[in-house]
Amino acid sequence: MSAAPIPAAPIPGAAVEAILRAGRLMAAQGWVPATAGNISVRLPGDRVAITRSGLHKAELTLDSVMAVDLHGRPEDPGLRPSAETGLHCGAYRRFPAVRAVVHGHSIANTVLSRLAGDTIRLEGYELLKVFPGLPTHEGAVEVPVLDNDQDISRLQAAVEARWAGMADQGAGAPPGYLIRGHGIYVWGPDMEAALARLEGLEFMLACELAARGIRP
């Protein structure tokens, strides 16, 4: 007789609460309309807690969060994670210090990513200090912009190629990127840092939108 499968370890309550709180905060800002966006936290043992697919982020409950491995495979095959789980896992694999990833769809990041080339340059803003290594406004960040792709594995490969290209040029990868006409991905060493970086980026992108005379 074969042994019964060992049940997966429960998701720590602190990780679930961090995801639920992030969902409420992002929804309050209008960054996750309808069922858009996804939120995750890295867990010990190469596990990731992430929002399930098709849920409004303002209405997340304890059952709205599930666990996957670092390649996006669900621990419970009966549950479906966010379609873009592979992009979260890609950030965790590339940057071992990352412990939280958030993804949103604001008007500013959606419109500007459609108008941009390969990057959006942010320069002279006080809030550049939300980025690691930029202690003052006297700096600049080139936020990568990638073309949208419904094939998440192919999109993640493009993200990784961009990271490798930046490393070859001696530039560190900023803690985030934009997908053209889609949204933004931001990460940090914990959820508080990820949300602070997201808020700072969204403020600067809104300023860029206003500077172009575009009204949301």
- Looking up residue 87, the CATH number of its domain turns out to be 3.40.225.10
Please tell me the total count of domains within the chain. 1
pTM of the predicted model as reported, rounded to 2 decimal places = 0.92
| C-alpha 90: how far from chain center | 10
Could you tell me if residue 2 is inside a domain?
no
Could you tell me if residue 158 is inside a domain?
yes
Residues of the domain holding 166: 13-211
Strands 119-123 and 38-43: unpaired
CA distances in angstroms from 98 to 95, 161, 175, 212, listed in the order given: 6, 19, 9, 33
Could you tell me if residue 95 is inside a domain?
yes
Could you tell me if residue 142 is inside a domain?
yes
Could you tell me if residue 44 is inside a domain?
yes
Could you tell me if residue 8 is inside a domain?
no
Could you tell me if residue 118 is inside a domain?
yes
Residue-level pLDDT at 130: 85
| Tens-level pLDDT at each residue, the chain (216 residues) | 455 455 678 999 999 999 999 999 999 999 999 999 999 999 999 999 999 999 999 999 999 999 999 999 999 999 999 889 999 999 999 999 999 999 999 999 999 999 999 999 999 998 998 887 776 667 788 899 999 999 999 999 999 999 988 776 666 667 899 999 999 999 999 999 999 999 999 999 999 999 988 876
DSSP, collapsed to helix, strand or coil, labels residue 8 as: coil
Q: Tokens at residue 200, please?
A: 């700072």
Element (H, E) at 55: none
Side chain identity, residue 114: R
C-beta separation of 80 from 177 below 8 A? no
Residue-wise pLDDT tens digits, 110-141: 999 999 999 999 999 989 988 877 766 677 88
Could you tell me if residue 23 is inside a domain?
yes
Side-by-side strand order, sheet with 140-146: 65-69, 47-51, 38-43, 100-104, 183-188, 176-179, 140-146, 119-123
